[in-house]
Amino acid sequence: MSVSWDRGVLVVGAGIGGLTLALQLHRVGVPFRVIEAAPWLEAIGVGVNILPHASRELHELGLGDALDRVAIRTREARYYNRFGQAVHTEPLGAAAGYRWPQYSIHRGDLQGILLDALSARAGTGSVQLGTRLVGIEQHERGVRAAVETRSGPATITADVVVGCDGVHSAVRRELHPGASGPVYSGCTMWRGATLWPPFLGGAALVRAGWLASGKMVIYPIRDDVDGQGNQLINWVAEIETPQRSDRSWNREGSIDDIIEPFSDWNFDWLDVPGLMRATGTILEYPMVDQEPLERWTSGRATLLGDAAHPMVPRGSNGAGQAILDTRALARALAEADDPAEALLDYESQRREATSRVVLQNRRNPPDAILREVYERTGDRPFSHIEDVMPAAERERLLESYRAVAGYSLDDLARGGGGT
Ligand SMILES: Cc1cc2nc3c(=O)[nH]c(=O)nc-3n(C[C@H](O)[C@H](O)[C@H](O)COP(=O)(O)OP(=O)(O)OC[C@H]3O[C@@H](n4cnc5c(N)ncnc54)[C@H](O)[C@@H]3O)c2cc1C
């Protein structure tokens, strides 16, 4: 067994949270090393949305130009019932008056931007691929991490360890061996990305239908991918069903399992079944979260992103809250003399804030507007949306989500938000 004596922060996981944390640590001058279980980073997954508070962090890390080169600046959210009737439209990002745009981006593109920036700034050796953390042992002055590498087991010693290792976090298991497991929300999602002509102006995020009879989220994530103006369109179809599978971001699903509820969704703005049928790989994922933890930190080890606060992927906050965690943690580590105190300071800024988002995603995410319309109309077409759910009530619901998730316009304009 080899032992490498390496001080600083050991970042476990080179996903969205781990890579952003590494960039933040590099910016504030705290030494670090990232380890990643995967032997190489593949563009698995489909789209994620970066809300204005997370976009602010990425812009402050100097990634604005790179994002503008590959992502879509999302200009509006549109809500429809399953008959294609317009329920609500809200401007997003810069179009809503935020200083920072909202982006829709392929998760692999975002990971690539972060990795390229980190390699350019801190060197390609700052991320060690093919290195899986399997255990941690704390002592008075640091942490010894047991890892599996391509050439066998090894130990890495660091001042602190941060588990950015996602929903199956090994660090979380070490810190909370008896914690409860995933909580199934009652529905499963199928996801895909398809080459398709722009719809609704080419920068809209559509939420349509409701879970009992089928719900979709559809938005473009890459522009003009073929030189003929076609975009890569991300779609997510959700339906209530008993749990079918465990959570794996890579599980392939079948169009036959999901097409039926959407087979007549042929609207004048989009042929939804056509889009779904034209998709190469479809991924299936159960909508699960976990009960918020009562603590993230133990001595010199803590959690960040999905490892700390796995949430139902609804409301565009999974990646965003991980990005916000990184700012708080890097600042705390840069300012404190005692690393263990820095971790507690970070946790005090972020744990309750993110627990509220986990619970809000369960109860009242932005698409709760569609639940209200579904219930009030008995899943039938309406004559006037104002008679079903007045605009002021719709806006109140959306604003309460923004406030909990930390991106209300007023907060961000005052320089706050994000916690
Ligand atoms: C392959 C993949 C595809 C995804 N696709 C989507 C998607 O399509 N839509 C969506 O909304 N969200 C997706 N997500 C989740 C999304 O990235 C996260 O919700 C969010 O970005 C928070 O990021 P995170 O850094 O906390 O976790 P993640 O982005 O999940 O990153 C965790 C990283 O830790 C690594 N890791 C895990 N265990 C260990 C270990 N023991 N030692 C070392 N490294 C370890 C993983 O390989 C991964 O790279 C996906 C995640 C993954 C890993």
Ligand 1 close to Cβ of residue 306 (< 6 A) = yes
Residue 83 identity: F
pLDDT value at position 416? 64
The Cα–Cα gap between 217 and 103 comes to 15
- The C-alpha angle 256, 259, 264, rounded to 5 degrees, equals 145
| Model pLDDT, residue 365 | 78
What is the rounded CA–CA span in Å between residue 349 and residue 304? 12
* Residue of minimum CA distance from atom 6 in ligand 1: 45
Q: Does residue 305's CB lie within 6 angstroms of at least one atom of ligand 1?
A: yes
The verdict on the CB of residue 109 being under 6 Å from ligand 1 is no
Residue 353: give the domain boundaries: 2-72+107-181+291-363
Q: Which residue has the tokens 């008896």?
A: 178
> How many domains in the chain?
1
- Distance from Cα 386 to the centre of ligand 1, integer Å: 41
155 in a domain, yes or no? yes
176 within domain boundaries: yes
Tokens 């962090």 belong to 57
User: Is 64 within a domain?
Assistant: yes
- 161 ligand 1 Cβ < 6 A: no
Pairing of strands 231-240, 283-289: unpaired
CATH number of domain containing 167: 3.50.50.60
In this prediction, residue 5 carries a pLDDT of: 40
* Inside any domain, residue 165: yes
211 Cα–ligand 1 center, Å: 25
As a whole number of angstroms, the distance between CA 130 and CA 118 comes to: 18
Calpha distance 36→220 (Å, rounded) = 29
The segments of the chain whose pLDDT lies below 50 read 1-5
333 domain residue, yes or no: yes
Non-local (6+) Cβ contacts of 414 within 8 A are none
Q: In this structure, are residues 80 and 61 in contact, taking their beta carbons and an 8 Å threshold?
A: no
Per the document, the length of the chain is: 419
Residue 169 is assigned to a structural domain of this protein = yes
What tokens were used for 249? 């971001």
Q: What is the pTM of this model?
A: 0.94
**Ligand 1 centre and the CA of 88: distance in Å?**
32
In angstroms, what is the span from residue 379 Cα to ligand 1's centroid?
Answer: 36
Is 145 part of any domain?
yes
Dist CA 283 CA 250 (whole Å): 7
Dihedral sign computed on CA atoms, order 256, 260, 263, 269:
negative
* 10, 11, 12, 16, best to mutate for ligand 1 pocket (most atoms within 8 Å of CB): 16
Give yes or no for residue 215 CB within 6 A of ligand 1.
no
Pairing assessment for the beta strands 102-106 and 72-74 based on DSSP bridges: antiparallel
Domain-embedded: residue 341: yes
Single-letter code of the amino acid located at 417:
G
Mutate to test the pocket of ligand 1, among 169, 249, 317, 323 (most ligand atoms within 8 A of CB): 249
Query: Which ligand 1 atom sits nearest the alpha carbon of residue 111?
Result: 29
DSSP string over 78-91: EEE-TT--EEEEEE
Atom of ligand 1 nearest to the CA of 308: 26
Residue recorded with tokens 């920068």: 203
Helix (H, G, I), strand (E, B) or coil at 393: helix
114 Cβ below 6 A of ligand 1: no
Q: What are the C-alpha distances in Å from 97 to residues 102, 313, 419?
A: 11, 25, 20
Closest by CA to 195, choosing from 237, 236, 235, 239, is 235
309 lines ligand 1 (CB under 6 A): no
Residue nearest to atom 22 of ligand 1 (CA): 319
